[in-house]
Structure 1
Amino acid sequence: MAAPLPRPHRFDVYLGVAGLLGGLVMWKLGLNTAGSGLLPSEWGLIPLAVTALMEPLRRTRPQAALVVGTFALVADTFTPGNPATILMFTDLAYAAVLYGTPAAVRRIPVTTGLISIGITLGFLVWWRRPEALLVGLGAAIVSFGPAATGAIVRNHRDAADSARLQAEQTALLAEMDRTQAVTAERARMARELHDMVANHLSAIAIHSTAALSLDDPATSREALGVIRENSVQGLAEMRRLIGILRDSSGDLEPAVAPTLDGLGSLVEGARANGLDVVLDADRGEGLPAPVELAAYRLVQEALTNALKHAGPGRVTVRLRQRDGALCLAVTSPYGDRDGPRAPGSGAGLVGMQERVALLRGTFEAGPKESADGKVWAVRATLPTGDIEEGMRE
């Protein structure tokens, strides 16, 4: 089933009606283009009407309209000629290039140029007078001129469309980059917030459960002391983080990123919360700041998980720097706890994996068999060279 013809543009219909009415007025007044006059002037109304009928098709069927208009213009040359027919033909030639296929943009200007040259040479051979050049010039003005103008306008329009598309693509890429940056920043903030307060909150949860379950004033007092200390420290860290996030004037001092020099205090805090921790750190100097921060947070989260889930026994923290990488291992007893447990969501392990992945390192966590029995082992390898370049990639 053939597809229906597209509806003509309203402006094109008006253009055809105006051309027809204008041509009728010129015919009535006897205005013509001094054609051959082989046929009476009434015959000139036929090419006029045909060309006017082609105007509504100048956008929807531009090449077909040009072909029919060309035959109408040739027929008009056998009559005294109507200026409106010629004017509408020039518009059809212009529209065929402007609204036609890409092939028409290349083909029609070349074809009309060759026809103009051919007409000029033909009349020179026939008349052998310089006036033949004027005939060729008139043919070029009627055919080649509108086609060339349409090609120029078409090229400018295509260039503008291409620039607009490129601008839209650039804006889309910028929006995608912004969204990715916001997502990455939210993930970083979530990791920092989790690592900063999870240890304190876990200690609070465990000791408060112990205080509620044991009817021992001394134990309850000791547990309440640990709860108060962790509450104060957690609240201070939360206030500092929220203050930095809310401040836009830059008056607040930025929080100093923790380094491996603070591992001693971190381990002491874990011991105060009831863990038996052994620290074995042998690292070199001059570690990149991202590596130190990631290693500190990994140890902090591993100790938090040990506080929440590890069975009774010793927790070991080992750090070694070798072959351009910092190797980290934290092991804790794997088994049922004798005391209360703190709930976990799994966000800590996800955050640890993300930190290591950002530095293009390796990470594994899970139960292992060891000489001391079954343990939960967290192992990570953090490259210490070309950190900034790796994070950009």
Structure 2
Amino acid sequence: MAVRLPRPHRFDVHVAPGGLLGGLLLWGLGLATRPHTEPYVLLPGRWPVLLPLFVMAGCELLRRTAPRIALLTGTAAIAVDVLTQGNLVTVLMYTDLMYAAVLYGPPASAHRIPRITGLLSVAGTVVPFALWREPEALLIGVVTGLVAFAPAATGLIVRNHRDAAVAARLRAEQTALLAEMDRTQAVTAERARMARELHDMVANHLSAIAIHSTAALSLDDPKTSQEALVVIRENSVQGLSEMRRLIGILRDSSGDTEPAAAPTLDGLGALVEGARTNGLDVTLDVAHGTVPAPFELAAYRIVQESLTNALKHAAPGRVAVSLTQRDGLLTVAVTSPYGDRDGPSAPGSGAGLVGMRERTALLDGTFEAGPEDSPDGKIWVVRAALPITDIVEGDTA
């Protein structure tokens, strides 16, 4: 099976004919590296010089695409050139092949070639001097070092710098990619947090407004309409206050609006009282000690959203809110009557349960919501268990 060599690089296509033309120019001028009278010139005359010159020029075409083949073939050509009167361009092209073999060749060859040429340079210096005992013999090792070891060492240095630059660029790209991923995750997490805040703060008031406005429009009773309008106004004012708090959070700290304090468990009484005003029969049972702020906010929002869902979906009956703290576990439970009805009193998106589940997961707690059987009939239970730990305030919202 024939081996098909790769297509030469565009730069090498220019290097090869350039070297060949330079060698032909020296050959035409009769300039050789050695006189024909030297005893080791076994192929005297002008014409034998052309063979290694043409072969070396052909090897230059493969200096990048097949550097090992080019170097092996060039080594054979330089050996033939030594037997002739020689051509300086042939030697220069061989040094380029040595350099290219280290720079573009496989990693193993890149480290092996400088060691081999270094040993040959040392051997070319020591062995001839030991045999002939003449200072001129040292020139063999010097020439070998200049022709072979010097370009190989230069190629290794350039390759190491190139590999270091590539590695630095890859690290920079990876760092930029990781930074972009972190930024995207941070933006996504912040959007989810703000979505939970917006839903929990506004949904309760808007649901009450929707329910009481429906009652005011459907019942031809001035007293009922008046009471509904009072509730609608109260919820509108409270909703606007909550919206201002959210806007205060979104504003820059240098702005003229200071964000209001986050709700705490001490506000559960007012929250339940507001639910009673909206028409729910609610009981509250609270027993807790010191609770970190993130857990207070999560528990408050879970109760708030559960009361909103009870207002929209629960059957007539009592809604029970329970909050207990025992053995490092804060448990929130809200139960409401569960039964068939034509539809919710106000439209819902289903985001409430998702938000409660996300808040609980952020604090490594457990959350469950669904119907259960009880002595008083079927009820809907929302239950969250939050393991209280020492965390920095503001880490979770």
TM-score range, shorter chain: over 0.9
CA distance in 1, matches of 2:63, 2:258: 70
Residue-pair matches, total: 391
Q: Deviations over 1:99-145 (max 9, x none)?
A: 00111112111222222233334422442312211111110110111
| 1:28 CA displacement | 2.1
User: Structure 1 residues 369-378 or 125-134, which shifts more?
Assistant: 125-134
Q: Which amino acid aligns with 2:136?
A: E
Match among 112, 129, 133 for residue 107 of structure 1 = 112
Q: Which amino acid aligns with 1:291?
A: F
Matches within 5 A, 1:81-92: 81-92=86-97
Give 1:178's match in structure 2, choosing from 174, 183, 193. Answer: 183
In structure 1, the residue corresponding to 2:333 is in which secondary structure?
strand
Q: Residue 324 of structure 2: SS of its match in structure 1?
A: strand
Q: Unmatched 5+ residue regions in structure 2? A: none
Q: How far 1:233 moved relative to its partner?
A: 1.7
Q: What secondary structure sits across from 1:387 in the alignment?
A: coil
Residue 75 of structure 1 is matched in structure 2 by: 80
C-alpha distance after superposition, 1:310-346 (max 9, x if no partner): 1111111111111112111111111135996112221
- State the partner residue of 1:378: 382
Residue by residue over 1:22-59, the C-alpha shift from the partner in whole angstroms, topping out at 9 and shown as x without a partner, is 11111222322227432213211111111111112111
Q: Partners of 2:204 and 2:240 in 1: how far apart? A: 12
Instruction: Specify which of 240, 249, 256 is matched with residue 251 of structure 1.
Output: 256
The code of the aligned residue for 2:11 comes to F
- Of 315, 321, 325, the residue aligned with 2:319 is 315
Q: Read off the aligned partner of 1:17 and give its amino acid letter.
A: P
Aligned counterparts of 2:252 and 2:159: Cα–Cα separation in 1: 54
Distance 2:51 2:20 in 1: 11
SS of 2:364's equivalent in the other structure is coil
Map residues 141-220 of structure 1 onto 2, 5 A cutoff: 141-220=146-225
Residues 115 and 132 of structure 1, relative CA distance in 2, 3 Å threshold: same
Is the CA contact 2:41–2:85 (under 8 Å) kept in the aligned structure 1?
A: yes
Counterpart contact for 1:311–1:338, Cα < 8 Å: no
Confirm or deny that 1:30 pairs with 2:30: yes
Q: In the alignment, which residue of structure 2 is the partner of 1:281?
A: 286
Matched to 1:52, the amino acid is: A
What amino acid is aligned across from residue 18 of structure 1 in structure 2? G
State the match for 1:324 in structure 2.
328
Q: Contact 2:247/2:259 (CA < 8 Å) preserved in 1?
A: no
Partner residue in 2 for 1:47: 52
Matching residue of 1:12:
12
**Per-residue deviation, residues 283-308 of structure 1 (Å, max 9, x unmatched):** 012x1110001011001001000100
Contact 2:248–2:259 (8 Å) recurs in 1: no
Distance of 2:128 and 2:172 partners within structure 1: 52
1:290 corresponds to which residue? 294
Looking at structure 1, the residues matched to 96 and 344 of structure 2 have their Cα atoms a distance apart, in angstroms, of 89
Note the C-alpha offset of 1:80: 1.2
Asked whether the 8 Å contact 2:212–2:229 carries over to 1, the reply is yes
Q: Do the aligned partners of residues 134 and 340 (structure 1) sit closer, same or farther apart at CA in structure 2, a change above 3 Å counting?
A: closer
| Aligned match of 2:372 | 368
Q: Decide which moves more: 302-311 or 11-20.
A: 11-20
Letter aligned with residue 260 of structure 2: A
Alignment map for 1:351-366 (pairs within 5 Å)? 351-366=355-370
TM-score, normalized by length of structure 2?
Answer: 0.93
Tell me, in whole angstroms, the C-alpha distance in 2 between the residues paired with 1:312 and 1:210.
Answer: 16
Distance in 2, matches of 1:2 and 1:378, equals 76
Distance 1:224 1:4 in 2: 90
Greater mean alpha carbon deviation, residues 243-252 or residues 173-182: 243-252
Find the aligned partners of 1:250 and 1:81 in 2 and give their Cα distance: 84
Could you tell me how far 1:19 is from its partner in structure 2?
1.0
| Aligned residues of 2:313 and 2:343 also touching (Cα < 8 A) | no
Is the contact between residue 248 and residue 260 of structure 2 (CA under 8 Å) also seen in structure 1?
no
Instruction: Describe the superposition over 1:342-388 as per-residue Cα deviations: whole angstroms up to 9, x where unpaired.
Output: 12221000000000000001111111112222111111111111334
CA distance in 2, matches of 1:3, 1:386: 70
Counterpart in 1 of 2:308?
Answer: 304
* 1:312–1:338 contact (8 Å) kept in structure 2: no
The residue identity in structure 1 corresponding to 2:323 is L
Aligned-partner SS, 1:385: coil
Q: Is the 8 A contact 1:363 1:379 kept in 2?
A: yes
